[in-house]
Chain A
Amino acid sequence: MAILPELVILTAALAFFALSLFKQIEFTHVKNTAICFGAIAIIASLINFNAQATLFLGSYEVDLYSQFFKLMISFGLAIVLIFGQDLKDIEDSVRPEYYMFLFLSALGLMMLVSSVELIAIFVSLELSSFALYLLVPMRSDQNGLRMQMEAGIKYILFGVMATGFMLFGMSYIFGLTGSTYLSEIVTGLQNAPQPAALFAVIMVLGGFFFKLAVFPMHFWVPDIYQGASNETTGFIATVPKLGAVALLIRLMTLASGETQFLIYLLMVLALLSMFYGNLSALVQKDFKRMLGFSGIAHAGFIMLGLLTMDVGGYAIAMYYISGYVIMNLACFLVLCNVSQEGENLEIQDLKGLHKRQPVLAFILAVSLFALAGIPPFVGFMGKFMLLTGALNAGVVQTGMMNSPYLILVILAAINTGIAIYYYLSVVRVAYTADPEEKPDVQVNGFTTTVGVFLVLLIIMLGALPSKIIAIADTAVKTIM
């Protein structure tokens, strides 16, 4: 049963399909079923953590690399289900459907990280994406502006365009190598004519840049984050990025020959993402938009790991994205629960949170400081290792310290300085401002426990990273 986690998620999706056929159904049962399925998915991923198999004519590879990501995906999904359990801003009538699409999207991502064949990759990516496209407009129309519809349309149009780029690149790859299997493509591309091979790889990468929100493919982020309901955004901002990074690493291993151009391209994209994300985040008033822009900047940081093009760099990218997902989940946990009726949260709405709900304020502060890269949290360790890895790659490749990598590292470090301002402003509002007329925040004990657990993870992963890095290292080696 090498694909047990996928089967669990698929069962869940089908179960919710069945539930959606009933007219009258108690919502509490639906939500508890969803959380149970989330927990079972985590357990299934843990059981299968060391599973190994090659399935479906060699197009589906179950190995440590994919299982690592599957565990993270099911973990992220379960956390989203728990903190968004009230589905405050989703209409009663579509709640079972909402869960169905959420699980289908997770299923697509799980299949994506195991796919080693272009068609399989494409199908699983689309399964995940189309489910997400539908989740966005499911938000109830509170203020009559139909913001969620606008966001949904934007998301699907941009998404389809990105897919178009990716398909175009895939067609080139097939044309150059005559195969859709990644293992055959790697050898095939080495003899392929340049720059066609490079162009093809970049096009395919572009499709995943869209998912990860790297600079030129980032433009969907703020509007969709704002338009989708808080729980949906919490999912979009975290779990799909795991799939994107998993596939980016796989695809980077395809690039061969003249990689210099690709590296420089990634450098430029990394820097543009960081500067664009951080500078735009400075002026945001809406909390979700701010987190969206900060996500763009973090995507830029992950590029630092990819462009080293070695095992160490990829392993750190895996570590960083895992840490990022945990930090972001903690943020969205607070966001979803502070929002009273599922409305969007202005940063000012967090005023006096330390009095209204001290535990949430603490979780928020830790996760924001972690996102800002203040030690000893996971955000710092990740950034520190990415910078070390990038500078090291420069020394290895050029033989001296004084390379473009140095400039990249310095500019990236400066970006952490820019970023601290907007994270700090949120903490300031939550901790130093008076609550004024703002109501107390009610939050159930289970969610609080999960939040504290996330905080512990943020600290533990930051203070004692060697174990997870070792796992990521071994995992990356299995796909090289």
Chain B
Amino acid sequence: MDSLIINEGFPLLSFLIFFPLAGALVLLIFSGESFARWWTLAITTITAIFSIPLVTGFDTSTAKYQFAEAHNWIPQFNINYILGVDGISILLVLLTTLIMPFCVTASWKYIKTRVAPFMVCLLIMETSMLGVFVALDFVLFYILWEFMLIPMYMLIAIWGGPRKVYASIKFFLYTLAGSILLLVAIIALYLKNGSFFIPDMMWQNYSLNFQIFIFLAFFLAFAIKVPMFPFHTWLPAAHVEAPTAGSVILASILLKMGTYGFLRFCLPITPDAAFTLAPYVLWLSIAGILYGGFTALAQNDMKKLIAYSSVGHMGFVTLGIFVFNPMGVKGAIIQMINHGVTTGALFLCVGMIYERTHSRELSVAAGVGKYMPWYVTFLAFFSLSSLGFPGTNSFIGEFLILAGTFKVNIPLALAAIPGAVLAAAYMLRLLQRVVWGGTNNPDQSYLNDLGFREIITLTPFLIFVFWIGLNPQPFINLMDTSVVNLLDQLHAWQQGGAMLTLR
């Protein structure tokens, strides 16, 4: 427990977790439509405001878990309620709290039926997502990790598109199937350590076989969530059918849980297995980058295009994590945030055009530039960000990841480069079609440009695109100590292991 800096004052993290839940319970009783909208907006905004002290009070000089809370929960199994944030999770927590209000505004008019239940699902999602990022007890983590499936399933299955039944069941089964063995792995780790406290499980002397078994169980769960090639097939289906807010949550936050899992669990708990299996993971990442890029190039459905681009972008993230150097890992975390901001914004953009044309087809949305100048301006910036244009946020992330990769393995880095080119190809194709189109554009003159609410929704995303793009240092500072500490321990472990084998 000495890895925790206990927060004696106001239980900030518990508040962040349970406040949205309390808000959801209120909505179960009072379910007027416009009340539900304003109430949810208020709740998510208050949660976002209360997450600001996390940054201002964050101590960047320590790798320990801060704002920690620890309480007994189920003593018979040594299960405790332990929360805490460190440099790896703090940005993800902020990403979650800051994005949720915009999910509400994006659904303001999009959701017309069963508004209150929709908002309840959003709030419960927020509770469980925040919980996943701050939980330091494995059972608590697993409960929230699994529980999240229910509201997400509801979001897709009730408010989704035409093939919502197929997409939602596939999403649920796929992710659940992945996390089944995670549970067994957690139990096995508990029996080795006698505790579910996550930091207690790290850097222990497990045999290599045991580690590989644990790593594979983790890997299956997290790789499906990321999703890594070839476990990605649920993602396009779920993205396409989900309502806008669902897509944003899915892309911006849910996918990050997989990569967060790699960083938080795979590296420190099973370091030997991570080293042994890293080459395979790296090449799978490359496969994902290229496969995602090529497939995105061929899509005519805008949501599908962005969904496949996610596969590519997340490939970069796993690439950065498994090169095991500070540049790569920092790049990976920055890229996780970038992807959350940029892809979230892109899904919002697609949602806005869908509200007007009721189609996600590129050909239907062709040539709207003339009639929606505000809209295409936003879209252009987000597209440029998505392809990693210098000055935008993704450039920083991809650059750090590729630089880190070059240090380790040049062929690997060279193999990843075409991914960046492909990103430019498919995003510019999207942009060209939407802004100008061709000679046979449909009549778009009936379209209204973005309203005030929509501009408010998109602007913060744009601010973050340039903030991270032009001045990433504050963000890197937040994570620096934790990442460096993790990698130092990892390399010390590797050398210790090497010495053991020499002797």
Residues of A within 8 A of B (CB): 312, 369, 374-376, 380, 384-385, 387-388, 391-392, 395, 401, 406, 409-410, 413-414, 416-417, 420-421, 424-425, 428, 431-432, 465-466, 469-470, 473
Contacts and interface: CB of A to CB of B under 8 A. Distances in A.
A473 B73 CA distance: 17
Given A376-B143, A384-B139, A391 B149 contact: no
Nearest to A358: B117
Contacts of A387: 183-184, 187
A388 B185 CA distance: 10
Q: What's the interface size class on B, roughly?
A: 35 or more
Contacts of A473: 76
A392 B191 contact: yes
Contacts of B169: 421, 424-425, 428
Given A369-B150, A409-B187, 16 more contacts: A374-B147, A384-B139, A385-B77, A387-B184, A388-B191, A391-B188, A391-B191, A401-B188, A410-B181, A413-B183, A417-B177, A424-B172, A431-B157, A432-B157, A432-B158, A470-B76
Interface of B: 73-77, 139, 142-144, 146-147, 149-150, 153-154, 157-158, 164-165, 168-169, 172-173, 176-177, 180-181, 183-184, 187-188, 190-192, 210
Given A385-B77, A391-B188, A416-B180, A431 B158 contact: yes
Nearest to B31: A358
Contacts of B181: 410, 413
A424 B157 CA distance: 11
B34 to A, nearest CB: 20
B457 to A, nearest CB: 27
Contacts of A409: 184, 187
A156 to B, nearest CB: 40
B75 to A, nearest CB: 6
A312 B75 CA distance: 13
A416 B181 CA distance: 11
9 closest residue pairs by CB, A with B: A375-B143, A466-B74, A413-B180, A417-B180, A432-B157, A417-B177, A375-B146, A388-B187, A375-B147
A374 B176 CA distance: 9
A432 B191 contact: no
A426 B76 CA distance: 35
A184 B176 CA distance: 49
A346 to B, nearest CB: 18
A414 B158 contact: no
B187 A420 contact: no
14 contacts: A312-B76, A374-B147, A375-B142, A380-B146, A384-B139, A388-B187, A392-B191, A401-B188, A406-B188, A409-B187, A416-B180, A428-B157, A431-B158, A432-B165
Contacts of B180: 413-414, 416-417
A432 B117 CA distance: 13
Given A388-B187, A424-B172, A401 B210 contact: yes
Given A391-B188, A401-B188, A417-B177, A374 B76 contact: no
Contacts of B147: 374-376
Given A413-B183, A413-B184, A388 B77 contact: yes
Specify which of A369, A392, A420, A432 lies most central, judged by the most chain B CB atoms within 10 Å of its CB. A432
A431 to B, nearest CB: 6
Given A369-B150, A432-B158, A410 B184 contact: yes
B212 to A, nearest CB: 13
Given A376-B143, A428-B157, A466 B75 contact: yes
Contact of B146 (A374, A391, A413, A414): A374
B464 to A, nearest CB: 33
Contacts of A424: 153, 169, 172-173
Nearest to A429: B165
B193 to A, nearest CB: 12
A132 B300 CA distance: 62
Nearest to B154: A431
A388 B183 CA distance: 10
B157 A417 contact: no
Contacts of B173: 417, 420-421, 424
A425 B173 CA distance: 11
A288 to B, nearest CB: 23
A395 B188 CA distance: 10
A385 B190 CA distance: 12
B164 A432 contact: yes
B84 to A, nearest CB: 20
Contacts of B176: 417, 420
A416 B149 CA distance: 15
Contacts of A312: 76
A410 B177 CA distance: 12
Q: Choose among B142, B173, B176, B181 the residue with the greatest number of A CB atoms under 10 Å from its CB.
A: B176
